[in-house]
Amino acid sequence: MIQQVENPIIEIHDLSVSYEKKPVLWDVDLTLPAGKLIGIIGPNGAGKSTLLKAVMGLLPLSSGYINILDKPLKEVRDKISYVPQRESVDWDFPTSVYDVVMMGRYGQLGLLKRPKKSDKEIVMDSLSKVGMEGFKDRQISQLSGGQQQRVFLARALAQQADIYFMDEPFAGVDAATEKAIVELLRQMSKEKKTVIVVHHDLQSVARYFDWIILLNMRLVASGPIEEAFTPELLQETYGGKLTLLTEISDLIQKNRFPNRE
């Protein structure tokens, strides 16, 4: 079930990526629609983070190419924003919350320019959208996991991009933060942003996403949630590793795509 779209916002053609000589992504062909909330789903080690890094130009490709907004990455860098996995970041670095979020402005600003009043307003507005305006002078090392994740999101918001890539934004955050982030993602989607999120909690997939990509080294599925989130395709993605398969299958039958508010 690999649905190709017309006028894709992202086009991935024949992509393969290896670390040393070990292939991790194999021949991925994928087109994605604009303005949707898109989940990348698959087991540990499936290559989900690798896929985001490849799209962001952070890894060499063994083969293939990627177009974003019909252009190569280097021409659209300021239109895309990336929130890496929280564990991959050095949080002991001595910086304030405010400065981290201001980093989101440097793409537009250039590294040596001083922030204007409008940049400062965007930073404070982004902090308030994630409920962190009261923490602007706090050192980032002094934050909880959920607060760190919110700051990361604020930095991404400050970039005012069109496309957002987020690697496991819900990992290790409290329920209140997860809810706040989901609401923010919905809001971004209403504002016609395209948001692509690596996610591994199958329980919430149908509630959160419009479209999903199922990945396990190769592409298993890409399509609207109603068509791509099926027990058969999950089985194919997770293989024997999905011990919860019957439960998930029940879940899909029971609340097949509950209304989203």
- Residues lying near ligand ADP in the complex (CB under 6 A): 19, 24, 42, 44-50
CB 243 → ligand ADP: shortest distance, Å? 18
Cα–Cα distance between 36 and 13 in angstroms, integer? Answer: 20
CB 57 → Mg ion: shortest distance, Å? 18
Which tokens belong to 97? 């919350």
* Closest to ligand ADP by CB, 58 or 176: 58
Task: Decide: 198 and 167 in contact? Cβ < 8 Å.
Answer: yes
**DSSP structural state of residue 260:** P
CA-CA-CA-CA torsion sign (195, 201, 205, 211): positive
User: Binding to Mg ion (CB under 5 A): which residues in 38-67?
Assistant: 48-49
Partner that binds at residue 46, options ligand ADP, Mg ion, none, CB closer than 5 to 8 Å by kind: ligand ADP
Cα–Cα distance between 34 and 206 in angstroms, integer? Answer: 19
Mark 140-169 with x for binding to Mg ion (rule: CB under 5 A) and - for no binding.
Answer: ------------------------------
CB 186 → ligand ADP: shortest distance, Å? 24
Cβ neighbours of 64 (radius 10 Å): 16
Cα–Cα distance between 171 and 197 in angstroms, integer? Answer: 12
Which tokens belong to 40? 């990348």
CB 22 → ligand ADP: shortest distance, Å? 7
Partner that binds at residue 42, options ligand ADP, Mg ion, none, CB closer than 5 to 8 Å by kind: ligand ADP
Partner that binds at residue 44, options Mg ion, ligand ADP, none, CB closer than 5 to 8 Å by kind: ligand ADP
* Closest to Mg ion by CB, 48 or 105: 48
Backbone angles phi and psi of 132, in degrees to 5? -120, 15
* Closest to ligand ADP by CB, 63 or 144: 63
Cα–Cα distance between 106 and 237 in angstroms, integer? Answer: 39
Q: CA–CA distance from 244 to each of 25, 199, 206 (Å)?
A: 25, 16, 16
* Closest to ligand ADP by CB, 123 or 214: 214
Partner that binds at residue 50, options Mg ion, ligand ADP, none, CB closer than 5 to 8 Å by kind: ligand ADP
Residues that bind Mg ion (CB under 5 A): 48-49
